[in-house]
Each structure stands twice: as C-alpha cells, then as structure tokens.
Amino acid sequence: MTVVRWNPWREIDTLQRQINNLFEETITPSGSVERNLVRVPAAELQETDDAIHLKLELPGMSAKDLDIQVTEDAVHISGERKSETKTEQKGTIKSEFYYGQFQRIIPLSARVQNTKVTAEYKDGILNLTLPKADKERNKVVKVNLEQPTA
C-alpha cells in the first residue's frame, strides 16, 4: 500500500485556478464557453401607483426584429439579431458580436391592462409603460391582528 502525503495547498491551488478560469470565461467575449450561452436583454422594472415601467436594453436591434407580447401578468419578448455577412478574399474577419435568437419572459408584480400598453424604442432602449388594472390600482388590504389569549 502506497502512502500519499496530503497537501492542503494543492487543493487551494486547484480551487484558485478554477475561480480564475470562471472569471476569464465571463470577461472574454470570444471564449468558447460564452458562444454557447443564450443572451437575453437586460431589464429594469420600476413600479408606481398607476403603472409598471419596464426598460430593456436591446442594442443593435431594429424594431422589426422584435416581438413583444403582454399578458395581464407577464411580458414576453423575443427577437433575432441577424448576422451581416461580409466576406473578404484576402483578409480575416473576427467578430465578437452575438447573433441569433433570444427570448425572455418577465413576470409582473401586479396585473396590468395589456390593451393600453405604450412603447417607445430609441437608441437600443425599449421603454414599456404598463398601466395597472383598476382593481390592482385601488387594492387596499386590511390586516387584522389577533392577540393570543393567555
């Protein structure tokens, strides 16, 4: 039987390498792992008394490539960024842009009037104003506190 000496520093070194690899893969856009990830647009939600405001980041997308559907309790966004194919006979082209389809479903915290949604798309930023349903806007809930009997 062979005795193997345990070295705790070897395990820490292995862990350090794994952490470094993780950060390198997320920082480098041309990494092979990142090419396989599905990219979804970043979103920002803000809720007021009357409406929910949704802002989505969609740089480089044209409005005709987007499909936005709003239900009473969610927003469904899908689209496709199409590749602009350019070929050169003698040169090499390297691209770090992502091309392909995406889909994102954003659940809403309150019911909205999906027939009265307004949208603005400018400079790659989509702003949706989702008015709350009347019953959600005026909803007040009374909480009764019962004291335990001793």
In DSSP notation, 56-102 reads EE-TT--GGGEEEEE-SSEEEEEEEE-------SS---------EEE
Q: Using the CB atoms, write b or e for 101-119: b if 16+ within 10 Å.
A: ebebebebebbbbbeebee
Task: For residue 130, list its beta bridge partners.
Answer: 52
Contact of 79 with 100, CB cutoff 8 Å: no
In tens, the pLDDT along 123-135 reads 889 999 999 988 7
pLDDT at residue 99, rounded to an integer? 75
pLDDT per residue over 10-67, tens digit each? 888 888 888 887 776 555 444 444 444 447 788 999 999 899 999 999 887 888 888 9
Residue with tokens 């070929």: 87
Ramachandran region of residue 124, left (φ > 0), alpha (ψ -120 to 50) or beta? left
Yes or no: say if 42 and 57 are a contact pair by the CB < 8 Å rule.
Answer: yes
